[in-house]
Amino acid sequence: FLLLSENLAIVTIPAFLLCFKRGIQQQKTLYFLLAGLLLGVSTLTRPTLIPFCIFFVISLPFVLKSKQIFISN
């Protein structure tokens, strides 16, 4: 069993998407923080995901504004 970067990315990317989705649905800061942490781990394991991070950071305010979500505890 080899622990390669692809194996970690297979777990962290779907976990990021799940936390981000739950953060939008439940409007909890904890889910957004966890999503950011998972996205950071994903980019450390697979640097090719950096453009995805840039897209995420740029699109986040638009997604939250269109759903009229204000991040709070």
Tokens of 33: 């923080």
In the predicted model, what is the mean pLDDT of residues 14-26? 90
In the predicted model, what is the mean pLDDT of residues 5-33? 87
In the predicted model, what is the mean pLDDT of residues 29-35? 89
Q: What confidence tier does 34 reach under pLDDT thresholds 50, 70, 90?
A: very high
Helix 5-26 and helix 29-45: axis angle, to 10°?
A: 160
pLDDT at 4: 73
Q: What confidence tier does 12 reach under pLDDT thresholds 50, 70, 90?
A: very high
Helix 29-45 and helix 50-66: axis angle, to 10°?
A: 160
Cα distance between residue 47 and residue 53, in whole Å = 10
Cα distance between residue 7 and residue 34, in whole Å = 19
